[in-house]
Chain A
Amino acid sequence: AQTVTQSQPEMSVQEAETVTLSCTYDTSESDYYLFWYKQPPSRQMILVIRQEAYKQQNATENRFSVNFQKAAKSFSLKISDSQLGDAAMYFCAANSGGGADGLTFGKGTHLIIQP
């Protein structure tokens, strides 16, 4: 079994600033995969970034990057140069396998961008 915890129900950031969304997880598997999904008001679930646990290098996708701390079981998302279009719910998710499949999601963080 795996669990994912997002402790920030809501975050607010000024446009063009940097914001970090927190996520911690727990799994007994040694090989697992972590994801951040964005859900704007349109309800779509959009993949933002993914990290493979066996890779030490932090994943980066343009303005989005992660800080993956395997020992601490932490997987935070950093958004640089925040834009109005970044406003959305952000969900952290894990897939550990171990005979099972499917994503386990955190409760989400509502990100507000202040113009």
Chain B
Amino acid sequence: DAGVIQSPRHEVTEMGQEVTLRCKPISGHNSLFWYRQTMMRGLELLIYFNNNVPIDDSGMPEDRFSAKMPNASFSTLKIQPSEPRDSAVYFCASRVGTLRQPQHFGDGTRLSIL
């Protein structure tokens, strides 16, 4: 079975540019989560979707961040404009059923903003 697929695996761009991270959840999973991992703050939840609907975006750091899930098989996390402090590893995870079930993570996107 294919796991959660994230692209790109690495992204290096200059400050001020728009960055789009992509995620394909596991087929049949109804919840999708975006996390950010940094040395200083560890792993933090940014936003999650249930049945393609954004439920809680309180973890999104600023208005520069936005996320969409146009259908059950695709989600994007966009940063515009990007800043050096946005440099981190961004993970997407998906889950079937309720919170008692484990989340399955993609391999992450390492984002470097110069």
Interface residues of A (CB under 8 A from B): 33, 35, 37, 42-47, 50, 52, 91, 95, 97, 100-108
Contact = CB atoms under 8 A, between A and B. Distances in A.
B23 to A, nearest CB: 14
A107 B102 contact: no
A97 B43 contact: no
Contact of A102 (B45, B102, B108): B45
**Interface SS majority for chain B:** strand
Interface stretch (B11-19, B48-56, B61-69): B48-56
Contacts of B45: 102-104
B31 interface: yes
Given A102-B48, A104-B45, A106-B42, 8 more contacts: A35-B102, A45-B91, A47-B103, A47-B104, A100-B56, A103-B43, A103-B45, A103-B103
A92 to B, nearest CB: 11
B66 to A, nearest CB: 18
Interface of B: 31, 33, 35, 42-45, 48, 50, 55-56, 59, 89, 91, 93, 99-100, 102-105, 107-108, 110
B49 to A, nearest CB: 10
A97 B55 CA distance: 13
B42 A101 contact: no
Nearest to B45: A102
Contacts of A42: 107
Contacts of B31: 101
B43 A105 contact: yes
A52 B105 CA distance: 20
Contacts of A52: 100
B97 to A, nearest CB: 12
B56 A101 contact: yes
B33 A102 contact: yes
Contacts of A50: 102
Contacts of B43: 91, 103, 105
